[in-house]
Structure 1
Amino acid sequence: MSDFLPNSDDPSFEQFISDIRNCRVCHDHPRYGQPMEPEPRPIIQVSQTACICIASQAPGTRVYQSGKPFNDASGVRLRQWMGISDEDFYDDSKIAIIPMGFCFPGLRSDGSDLPPRRECKEIWRSQLFARLPNLKLLLTIGGYAQRWHMGPQTAKQGVTETVRAWRQYYLADPSLRVYPLPHPSWHNNRWLTQNVWFEDEVLPQLRSDIRSLIA
């Protein structure tokens, strides 16, 4: 079989998620470039009742080892930004976590993470979001997620200007409020120091919206 596809034309949600968790396309039948070196381990958190979705980049090494999304320092900061407990964050009935690449993509020669594999968005993401009818709030973290969810113009203006224009995206669709966010990695400590408006302007509204949805 040259590619991996859902088991039927219209699988149940449970079967569809099982298919995602068993996907090996990037390792066994890559569409782009070399086969992914790490053993596939798709890591997502999702249910059809989720009202909040975190669209992130791809699992890092620690998350790959644990199998738990944002189980690292970036996750600690993200939960602080959102103003929620670990219990609420990992409650899949409330919060979905869907990275652009479901598996850890491996490392570059300099030790940094490779970009998310492109296969995930082509095979799975559109179908997955079509099966999530209750989403009210979408957090797009970093440029990869912002380009896919918010359009190619975000690639031209970059993450800083996209996040700075957050109100434009937030107000665009009252049925699905969108927040573009920088990555909560420690690599962005300087960015946060240089852009204090993010914590002053964006986070209070974000926390208020989250409280209203998961109270």
Structure 2
Amino acid sequence: MQELLVEIRNCTVCEAHLPLEPRPIVAGNKNSKIILVSQAPGRKAHVENKAWDDPSGKKLREWLGVTDEVFYNPGNFAVLPMGFCYPGKGKTGDLPPRKECAPLWHPKVWEEFKNVKLILLIGKYAQDQYLGQEAKKNLTENVLHYEEFLPKYFLLPHPSPVNRFWRSKNLWFEEKVVGKLQKLVADILQKG
């Protein structure tokens, strides 16, 4: 699997469409238990070449109930964004992930995982891709009905500060869903 990750990190397929040089960010190993399928790296992740090392990542680790050390252990969590490179800035946040990445690389990466216990679909792009016809009409409905997608998937909004309005409108998520997520994650990590 490490050879495949090196190949992905050297990918330049969508270079002409990126605002900065390609710097694909992906992490994990064959024993990763929880796979984080998310949007695309932000500018800070691109600069530092480290996923989830920003306010979004801090909030995500809070939701998961894990420390940085546990989170960045590839035996625990793998990072598999829909777009591996920073796509650029849009009006209200980053642009959507490039469409080339997931079809090109995801199937190859999934073949390498041997110990997946849970897939976190973080945000609408990941949910649309992986739920297909099973997706609800919007992200709120997906997350509200997350139990329908267990035990394979757990659906989350993106933890970006840009989504603070969504979180303030949907207090039920942090009041009722996050605790269940933390318990599930703790059970998976404890059992190995």
Q: What TM bracket, shorter-length normalisation? A: over 0.9
1:1-215 equivalence runs, <5 A: 13-27=1-15, 35-108=17-90, 110=91, 112-154=93-135, 157-170=137-150, 174=151, 176=152, 178-215=153-190
For 1:112 and 1:198, the matched residues in 2 are separated by 22
Normalised to the residue count of structure 2, the TM-score between the two structures is: 0.93
Q: Paired residue for 1:8?
A: none
Q: CA deviation at 1:107?
A: 2.2
Deviation at 1:60, TM superposition (A): 0.6
Determine if contact 2:83/2:102 at 8 Å carries over to the other structure.
yes
RMSD: 1.4
Aligned length: 190
Partner SS for 1:102: coil
Separation in 1, partners of 2:75, 2:58 = 20
Post-superposition, which runs of at least 4 consecutive aligned residues in structure 1 deviate over 2 A?
none
**Relative contact order higher in (CA < 8 Å, ≥ 6 apart):** 2
Write the deviation string for residues 82-128 of structure 1: whole angstroms up to 9, x where unpaired.
000000000011110111000001223x4731110111012101111
Q: How far apart are residue 188 of structure 1 and its match?
A: 1.6
Partners of 1:89 and 1:152 in 2: CA distance: 31
Identity of aligned residues (%): 38
Contact kept in structure 1, 2:5 and 2:26, CA below 8 Å: no
5+ long unaligned stretches in structure 2? none
Compute the TM-score of the two structures, normalised by the length of structure 1.
Answer: 0.84
Unmatched runs of 5 consecutive residues or more in structure 1: 1-12, 29-34
1:152–1:36: structure 2 CA closer, same or farther, 3 Å change rule? farther
